[in-house]
């Protein structure tokens, strides 16, 4: 039985600031192990979003996608998501809104409420470490998620 809430981070850990998502995943996983908090949260991470991730959204109360973003303000931005049939449907890397739309199409009902946390990123070189600015933004995002999860242990998330 999946946990009611899902935090789904994505990115390539060897691509500079693209590692923001998977690094946040590791931080949250560590926090979960060490504190026994986030009991109602499943953590998932992947290189990028694809159609099969619609299956991971089943039986959830809320989903928080976390990605590196280059069009958002620092340190991060939170947006509510709607299922949207954008052109990322047709790429090897889908947008979270498009994954929600796949969910809607294959299940014939609305997907769970979902939000996107974009952490401001800057550099994406192969084999490069995360930039100092991105790391600072990551810490802010991490604090925000922990505080929010702690303040709303069973309620609706990020809405």
CA 22 to chain centroid, in Å, comes to: 9
44 binds other proteins (CB under 8 A): yes
Asked if 125 touches other proteins (CB under 8 A), the answer is yes
Is residue 138 a contact point for other proteins (CB under 8 A)?
no
Only segment of 32-40, 88-96, 136-144, 147-155 that touches other proteins (CB under 8 A): 88-96
**Binder to other proteins among 47, 78, 142, 148 (CB under 8 A)?**
47
1-9, 32-40, 114-122, 142-150 -> range binding other proteins (CB under 8 A): 114-122
> Shortest CA distance to 46 belongs to which of 73, 77, 8?
8
Which CB sits closer to other proteins, 18 or 149?
18
Instruction: Report the largest interatomic distance among the alpha carbons of the chain, rounded to a whole angstrom.
Output: 44
Nearest to 115 by CA among 8, 3, 40: 8
Q: Two tokens at 27?
A: 């931080």
User: In the bound complex, what is the minimum distance in angstroms from residue 62's beta carbon to other proteins?
Assistant: 20
Token pair 């709607």 is found at: 82
Site for other proteins, residues 11 to 40, rule: CB under 8 A? 11-15, 17-18
Specify whether the CB–CB gap between 154 and 40 falls below 8 A: yes
Residue 82 is a binding residue for other proteins (CB under 8 A): no
Contact 148, 40 (CB under 8 A): no
Binding test (CB under 8 A) with other proteins, winner from 33, 51, 73, 159: 51
Are the CB atoms for 82 and 110 separated by under 8 Å?
no
Give me the sign of the Cα torsion angle 98, 100, 101, 105: positive
Out of 124, 135, 136, 146, name the contact with other proteins by CB under 8 A: 124
- Residues of this chain that interact with other proteins (CB under 8 A) are 10-15, 17-18, 44-48, 50-52, 54-55, 67-72, 85-93, 95, 102, 105-106, 116, 118, 121, 124-127
């Amino acid at each position: 039985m999946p946990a009611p809430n899902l935090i789904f981070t994505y990115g390539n850990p060897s691509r500079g600031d693209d590692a923001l998502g998977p690094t946040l995943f590791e931080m949250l996983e560590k926090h979960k192990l060490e504190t026994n908090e986030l009991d109602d949260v499943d953590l998932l991470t992947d290189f990028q979003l694809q159609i099969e991730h619609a299956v991971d959204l089943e039986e959830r109360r809320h989903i928080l996608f976390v990605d590196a973003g280059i069009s958002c303000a620092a340190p991060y931005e939170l947006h509510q998501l709607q299922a949207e049939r954008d052109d990322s449907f047709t790429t090897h890397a889908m947008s979270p809104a498009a994954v929600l739309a796949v969910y809607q199409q294959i299940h014939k009902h609305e997907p769970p409420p979902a939000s996107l946390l974009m952490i401001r990123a800057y550099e994406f070189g192969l084999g490069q470490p995360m930039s100092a600015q991105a790391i600072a933004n990551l810490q802010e995002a991490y604090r925000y998620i922990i505080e929010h999860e702690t303040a709303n242990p069973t309620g609706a998330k990020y809405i």
